[in-house]
Structure 1
């Protein structure tokens, strides 16, 4: 879902999982322009360095809109007519269904992350997400029963999806409901970044719902500086936990402190553990991952959030993944990070 686009000279940008700490003086020849608008139930902000050329700027803005429209049309579970929804609606998914190259790339990367995290990331978890009331369906009147969860868990599993590379195709047995919400925003960020590069733009920051990709530097020569947010349920309570400089990379954050509901005095996070089908319930408040591409950072952040801090930091250390953890302690938040993350921290 996309909407009206806004184009303006960029100001300091605040977003869900990070804030951009912008410089205040630029060379006259180039400025940082912000292109923004609604998408995927959230918003996108693109800061791009270019000369004051309104015609080209408007063309770039239209191009970004088309890229986001294509991703939404392929991977949305909120649209009945998207490519993914059409597959989900098939009464028989046992035969090969041709899919777009983009959808294939996201599903193939999802499988790799699922294998790496031993199922902590699973794109077939959608029916369980919906059962808990965090999908397109309405929130349930009652918390799911053990019997409901057991029945769904016996039917799902990323291993039940079968991918074919040439030509790209997908099938499933038994029938599955695929939900790419934990990786599609990251992929959309990557696609916008690729589009900007194809337009000859070498310095930009792309952000969608807190997932971000950075390239180049600002006109004054300074790097884009990003701030990891202190977990807080309300936007007005946002504070910076740590500032990072990631270079030409991507960053994503997953946390349990915004999207949740309470029932009978118990808090239920939107992040579901595919192993037991229940909302996560541990002391890890948020995890930030830096990677070469945003769909990898996005999916790993979700998987690490499911795993909890101990298992996640062990895996990140072993696999040389840059990850930063904010954990609830007895006296407030505590932080930890993998060795690969240390080079991105600023003083």
Structure 2
């Protein structure tokens, strides 16, 4: 989870128009959005930013929310195997990137919604007993991005019952949509946040950098503490961790992050992953995927792909951190 440090309005560089601060808030995707931007007041007066942003996010939700009965994603989820569904440009963008990340990481699988439900982290109540190995094996055999076909005609599935869930990428895509909207309207200095993930561009007045705080993963319940600050420049910023959503059953703790290869909730020492990427959608997906990998695999993947990644792991001696070579310039 991230939060921006206090920001000040005022004049920008000498000779440039005075920058006015604008704050926009609302609800979307079952969470909230917060936008902070700076632009000349006379320019802002000509725009209907809040209305345009609300409309853009409503369109993303209508396309990708599994909680809306007639959403685009639910129409696909009800489709039979072999049927091809024509899809919107936005849906295609998120599907294509989700498939790419699925093959690349092996730990992000947007078809594993039924597996998440089986473990009690979907809309249904949590289970009263652990799923059997036979149930897990049957589920694993019927999920996977390799069972999706995306082409010019649209999207199809190769097995009945296959369902999509963009919980790891849709929120980031919504951020990208808003950021792109702002840039088309001539806004160059902004911070867009939805549910803790962000995309940032430009700077604050006085040519000051945006400063973002990474949250302390072992802070006492109900408290928010700063672990450290970063200056991400113009980047999407996402975090993922296993310390917020979990339950206990029969003395075991089960986290909502599940390995699609084993069908099991993760159990390892990696508690927080921060990823920077020009696309908030890609950062969002990668943060989840690397958390599922665990510390050593996440390190290897980040270095092999030259990704700016910051990891926080639990050890017997307390928290241990790792910055990939590509992340160090942002510290």
Contact 2:9 2:204 (8 Å CA) reproduced = no
Cα distance between partner residues in 2 of 1:235 and 1:216? 34
1:265: Cα distance to partner?
2.2
Match of 1:314 in 2: 300
Contact 1:233 1:257 (8 Å CA) reproduced = no
The partner residue of 2:156 within 159, 171, 189 is 171
Higher mean C-alpha deviation, range 221-230 or range 139-148: 139-148
Deviations 1:44-80 (A, max 9, x none): 1111113446984871001111111011011111221
Match of 2:95 in 1: 107
Asked if residue 205 in structure 1 is aligned to residue 191 in structure 2, the reply is: yes
Runs of 5+ in structure 1 lacking a partner? 1-16
Match of 1:134 in 2: 121
Asked if residue 226 in structure 1 is aligned to residue 212 in structure 2, the reply is: yes
- Structure 1 length-normalised TM: 0.90
Match of 1:289 in 2: 275
Cα distance between partner residues in 2 of 1:24 and 1:71? 31
Asked if residue 155 in structure 1 is aligned to residue 142 in structure 2, the reply is: yes
55 and 339 in structure 1: CA distance in 2 versus 1, 3 angstrom threshold: closer
Cα distance between partner residues in 2 of 1:39 and 1:140? 28
What secondary structure sits across from 2:326 in the alignment? helix
Cα distance between partner residues in 2 of 1:25 and 1:53? 16
Asked if residue 75 in structure 1 is aligned to residue 45 in structure 2, the reply is: no
What secondary structure sits across from 1:273 in the alignment? coil
- Structure 2 length-normalised TM: 0.94
Match of 2:14 in 1: none
What secondary structure sits across from 2:70 in the alignment? coil
The partner residue of 2:4 within 12, 20, 28 is 20
Match of 1:96 in 2: 84
Cα distance between partner residues in 2 of 1:233 and 1:135? 26
Deviations 1:233-253 (A, max 9, x none): 766322111211111111100
Match of 1:13 in 2: none
Aligned length in residues: 325
Contact 1:255 1:286 (8 Å CA) reproduced = yes
Cα distance between partner residues in 2 of 1:31 and 1:264? 55
What secondary structure sits across from 1:32 in the alignment? strand
- Counterparts of residues 182-331 of structure 1 (less than 5 Å): 182-232=168-218, 236-331=222-317
1:283: Cα distance to partner?
0.3
Asked if residue 31 in structure 1 is aligned to residue 55 in structure 2, the reply is: no
Cα distance between partner residues in 1 of 2:311 and 2:189? 29
Contact 2:8 2:204 (8 Å CA) reproduced = no
Contact 1:98 1:170 (8 Å CA) reproduced = yes
Match of 2:131 in 1: 144
Runs of 5+ in structure 2 lacking a partner? 12-16
Contact 1:232 1:238 (8 Å CA) reproduced = no
Deviations 1:128-150 (A, max 9, x none): 01111112233223222222111
275 and 233 in structure 1: CA distance in 2 versus 1, 3 angstrom threshold: farther
Match of 1:124 in 2: 111
Contact 2:9 2:20 (8 Å CA) reproduced = no
Deviations 1:57-104 (A, max 9, x none): 8710011111110110111112211100111022x1312110111111
Higher mean C-alpha deviation, range 107-116 or range 316-325: 107-116
Cα distance between partner residues in 2 of 1:58 and 1:108? 32
Higher mean C-alpha deviation, range 237-246 or range 302-311: 237-246
340 and 231 in structure 1: CA distance in 2 versus 1, 3 angstrom threshold: same
